[in-house]
A and B are shown apart, each in its own frame.
Chain A
Amino acid sequence: MVTARRSNLLAVLLSLLILVAVLLVIDLAASAYIQRVVMGLGISIILVVSLNLLNGFTGVFSLGQVGFMAIGAYAAAILTLPISLKSVNLPELPAWLGEVQAPFLLATLAGAILATVIAFLVGLSLMRLTGPYVAVATLGFLVIVQVILVNWDRMTRGARTFSGVPPYTTLWWVWGWAVLTTYVVWRLVRSAYGRRMMAVRDNEIAAQALGVSVMRSRLLAFCVSAFFAAIAGSLWAHFFTSFSPKAFYFAETFSIITMLVIGGMGSISGSIVGVVFVTLLSEILRNAERGINLGFLTIPPVYGASQIIMSVIFVLVIIFRPKGLLGGRELDLGRLLPGRNRRAAAESRAVGGDERPS
Chain B
Amino acid sequence: MNTIQYLIQQTINAVSVGSLYALMAIGLAMVFGILRLINFAHGDLIMVGSYAALLSLGLGAPFWTAVLIGIAASTLVGLAMERVAYRPIRGAPEVAMLLTSFAVTIFLENVAILIFSPTPRAFPTPPILSGALEFGGLRISAVDVLAILVAAVVLVLLTFFIRRSEAGVGMRAASQDLLAARLMGININRVIVMAFAIGSALAGVVGILWSIRVGKIDPLMGFYPVLKAFVASVIGGLGSLPGAVLGGYVLGFLEILLQGLLPSSLTPYRDAFVFIILIVLLLFRPNGILGSTEKEKI
A residues at B contact (CB < 8 Å) = 55, 61, 125-126, 128-129, 131-133, 135-137, 139-141, 143-144, 147-148, 150-151, 205, 250, 254, 257-258, 261, 265, 302-305, 307-308, 310-312, 314-315, 318-319, 322, 353, 355, 357-358
Of the candidates B227, B279, B298, which one forms a contact with A137 in the assembled complex, judged by CB atoms under 8 Å apart? B279
B57 near A: Cβ within 8 Å? no
Q: CA of A318 to CA of B38 in the docked complex: distance in angstroms?
A: 16
If A125-B280, A311-B104, A318-B96 touch, whether A357 touches B286 (CB-CB below 8 Å) is no
Q: Is A315 touching B104 in the complex (CB atoms < 8 A)?
A: yes
Q: CA of A132 to CA of B38 in the docked complex: distance in angstroms?
A: 8
**Hey, what's the 0/1 contact readout for B72-93 against A, CB within 8 Å counting as 1?**
0000000000000101111111
Q: CA of A132 to CA of B231 in the docked complex: distance in angstroms?
A: 11
Q: CA of A144 to CA of B268 in the docked complex: distance in angstroms?
A: 11
Q: CA of A129 to CA of B288 in the docked complex: distance in angstroms?
A: 12
- Taking CB atoms, residues of chain B closer than 8 Å to A353 are 91
Q: CA of A151 to CA of B272 in the docked complex: distance in angstroms?
A: 11
Q: Is B99 touching A318 in the complex (CB atoms < 8 A)?
A: yes
B139 near A: Cβ within 8 Å? no
- Taking CB atoms, residues of chain B closer than 8 Å to A143 are 227, 271-272, 275
B100 near A: Cβ within 8 Å? yes
Knowing that A137-B278, A311-B106, A355-B91 touch, tell me 6 more A-B residue pairs with CB under 8 angstroms: A133-B238, A136-B38, A136-B230, A144-B276, A257-B99, A261-B99
B residues at A contact (CB < 8 Å) = 32, 36, 38, 85, 87-96, 98-100, 102-104, 106-107, 110-111, 113-114, 182, 188-189, 223, 227, 230-231, 234, 238, 268-269, 271-272, 275-276, 278-280, 282-283, 286, 296, 298
- Taking CB atoms, residues of chain A closer than 8 Å to B278 are 136-137, 140
Q: Is A314 touching B275 in the complex (CB atoms < 8 A)?
A: no
- Taking CB atoms, residues of chain A closer than 8 Å to B87 are 357
Q: Is A151 touching B268 in the complex (CB atoms < 8 A)?
A: yes
Of the candidates B100, B238, B272, which one forms a contact with A148 in the assembled complex, judged by CB atoms under 8 Å apart? B272
Q: Is A315 touching B238 in the complex (CB atoms < 8 A)?
A: no
Interface of B is mostly: helix
If A257-B99, A315-B103 touch, whether A308 touches B110 (CB-CB below 8 Å) is yes
Write the nearest CB–CB distance from A350 to chain B, whole angstroms.
13
Write the nearest CB–CB distance from B120 to chain A, whole angstroms.
17
Interface of A is mostly: helix
Q: CA of A105 to CA of B90 in the docked complex: distance in angstroms?
A: 47
If A147-B269, A304-B114 touch, whether A257 touches B102 (CB-CB below 8 Å) is yes
Of the candidates A140, A250, A258, A312, which one forms a contact with B279 in the assembled complex, judged by CB atoms under 8 Å apart? A140
- Taking CB atoms, residues of chain A closer than 8 Å to B269 are 147-148, 151
Chain B residue at minimum C-beta to C-beta distance from A125: B283
Q: Is B91 touching A357 in the complex (CB atoms < 8 A)?
A: yes
Q: CA of A140 to CA of B87 in the docked complex: distance in angstroms?
A: 28
Q: List 28 A-B contacts (CB under 8 A).
A: A128-B283, A129-B282, A132-B94, A132-B98, A133-B234, A136-B278, A140-B278, A141-B275, A144-B272, A147-B272, A205-B296, A250-B223, A257-B102, A304-B110, A304-B111, A305-B114, A307-B107, A308-B106, A311-B104, A315-B103, A315-B104, A318-B92, A318-B96, A318-B99, A322-B92, A322-B96, A357-B90, A358-B90
- Taking CB atoms, residues of chain B closer than 8 Å to A135 are 38, 98
Q: Is A307 touching B92 in the complex (CB atoms < 8 A)?
A: no
Chain B residue at minimum C-beta to C-beta distance from A126: B279
Q: CA of A310 to CA of B102 in the docked complex: distance in angstroms?
A: 12
Interface centre among A205, A303, A314 (most CB of B within 10 A): A314
Write the nearest CB–CB distance from A64 to chain B, whole angstroms.
11
Q: CA of A312 to CA of B85 in the docked complex: distance in angstroms?
A: 9
Q: Is B230 touching A304 in the complex (CB atoms < 8 A)?
A: no
- Taking CB atoms, residues of chain A closer than 8 Å to B102 are 254, 257
Chain B residue at minimum C-beta to C-beta distance from A61: B95
Q: CA of A290 to CA of B182 in the docked complex: distance in angstroms?
A: 50
- Taking CB atoms, residues of chain B closer than 8 Å to A315 are 85, 100, 103-104
- Taking CB atoms, residues of chain A closer than 8 Å to B182 are 358
Chain A residue at minimum C-beta to C-beta distance from B38: A132
Chain A residue at minimum C-beta to C-beta distance from B114: A304
